[in-house]
């Protein structure tokens, strides 16, 4: 087959080569997410703002912006991201530190992780997950560079984990980075040294904060203190257990009436399990499995190193974040502060998730062209 330069790929050609299976899967997740955000947030929205549609309207605005972003990156040649990798990463690092600037950053739920930009709040930890993947794909384009990699990983992990007190995002960032590192060709024996360091780092993170320590204790025994430190996970498990096989029905959740903390964001899967039961939860999980499968297929089909690393990193990030969120909801992991991709309420997370999908679609289209 005649090889054509990917830099000369026309918009029409990209449209013809778009992976519509992946696109429709993401559209399905977005629709599912909108329904659940409205459903889970209706009580809290009416209480806080006197408007039961407040959260769904906010999420719709971010979703529309995200769809435009997805479309842009579907046609934007991903190769240009190689040149932008360092500036994007530095910019996101500045945002990460800006949360400590008085008047800009604010804390909630035991963590200091948000930026207040007027009427818009953003979470820089979500942004740096994306920009670090682009940076690492560029860094490992020709060979594995261990010292710069670990320098970046430990710096970002320290800021997010110790300073911002966001163990969930730290875990997602760290695991994604390590997967990219070894996929790029790092010696497997390095893993033997990384395991004890990771365990020690995790223990230090946990023991340095009573808030995180209580979350681990709640994970070990979810009903140990149902009116205290294990309240959150116990209410989540009650909700999921109440759903049974088929669920209580859309809109019928009882736990969303201010029993479950963070019901629109980190804990939204509890309402899915309660209202849609095992079958509805299985349907949602199946969409995520298909999304991850398509991401790895795109990785496999890309013969260009930068694109291959980029596709792998983006897929790992979405997969790990999904597993961490869902695992925490069923008490396989301690509760974390990470949103469920495409489903949880939150603008910055939804925006970067859709940006990641746009890049995956772009890599897929350009890989098909040169096959």
The per-residue pLDDT for range 232-248, each reduced to its tens digit, is: 999 999 999 999 999 99
**Cα separation of 75 and 363, whole Å?**
10
Distance between CA atoms of residues 56 and 62, nearest Å: 10
Does residue 124 form part of some domain? yes
- Strands 120-122 and 111-117 come out as antiparallel
Sheet holding 111-117, edge to edge: 105-108, 111-117, 120-122
pLDDT tens per residue, range 24-81: 999 999 999 999 999 999 888 888 888 889 999 999 999 999 999 999 999 888 999 9
The number of C-alpha atoms within 13 Å of 328 and in the hemisphere containing its C-beta is 25
For the chain, the domain total comes to 1
- The better pLDDT of the pair 167, 316 is held by 316
Task: Give CA–CA dist 248/242, Å, rounded.
Answer: 8
Residue 188 belongs to a domain: yes
Place of tokens 């940076």: 135
Q: Is residue 1 part of a domain?
A: no
Between 2 and 155, where is the model more confident? 155
Each residue's pLDDT tens digit, 173-231: 999 999 999 999 888 888 778 888 888 888 887 777 777 788 888 888 888 887 888 89
Residues 125-184 have pLDDT tens digits of 999 999 999 999 999 988 888 899 999 999 999 999 888 888 889 999 999 999 999 999
The domain containing residue 134 runs over which residues?
Answer: 6-369
pLDDT of residue 202: 80
- Angle among Cα 366, 351, 354 to the nearest 5 degrees reads 30
How confident is the model at residue 3, as a pLDDT?
Answer: 42
| Within a domain: 300 | yes
């Amino acid at each position: 087959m005649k090889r054509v330069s990917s830099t000369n790929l026309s918009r029409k050609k990209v449209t013809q080569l778009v992976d519509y299976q992946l696109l429709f899967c993401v559209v399905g997740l977005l629709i599912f997410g909108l329904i659940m955000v409205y459903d889970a947030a209706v009580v809290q929205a009416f209480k806080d703002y006197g408007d039961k549609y407040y959260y769904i309207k906010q999420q719709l605005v971010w979703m529309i912006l995200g769809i435009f972003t997805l479309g842009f990156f579907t046609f934007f040649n991903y190769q240009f991201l190689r040149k932008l990798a360092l500036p994007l990463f530095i910019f996101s690092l500045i945002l990460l530190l800006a949360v400590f600037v008085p008047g800009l950053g604010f804390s909630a739920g035991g963590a200091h992780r948000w930026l207040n930009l007027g009427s818009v709040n953003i979470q820089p930890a979500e942004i740096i997950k994306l920009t670090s993947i682009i940076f690492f794909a560029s860094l490992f384009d020709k060979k594995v560079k261990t010292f710069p990699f670990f320098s970046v990983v430990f710096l970002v992990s320290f800021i997010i984990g110790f300073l911002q007190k966001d163990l969930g995002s730290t875990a997602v960032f760290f695991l994604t980075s390590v997967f990219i590192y070894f996929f790029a060709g790092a010696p497997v024996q390095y893993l033997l040294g990384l395991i004890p360091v990771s365990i020690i780092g995790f223990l230090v993170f946990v023991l340095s904060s009573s808030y995180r320590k209580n979350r681990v204790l709640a994970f070990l025994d979810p009903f140990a203190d149902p009116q205290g430190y294990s309240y959150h996970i116990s209410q989540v498990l009650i909700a999921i257990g109440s759903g049974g096989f088929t669920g209580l029905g859309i809109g019928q959740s009882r736990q969303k009436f201010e029993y479950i903390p963070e019901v629109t964001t980190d804990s939204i899967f509890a309402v899915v399990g309660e209202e849609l039961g095992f079958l509805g939860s299985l349907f949602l999980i199946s969409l995520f499995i298909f999304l991850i499968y398509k991401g790895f297929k795109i990785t496999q089909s890309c013969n260009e190193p930068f694109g291959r690393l980029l596709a792998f990193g983006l897929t790992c990030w979405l997969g790990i974040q999904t597993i961490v969120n869902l695992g925490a909801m069923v008490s396989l992991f301690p509760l974390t502060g990470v949103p469920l991709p495409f489903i949880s309420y939150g603008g910055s997370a939804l925006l970067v998730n859709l940006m990641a999908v746009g890049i995956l679609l772009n890599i897929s289209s350009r890989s098909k062209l040169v096959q």
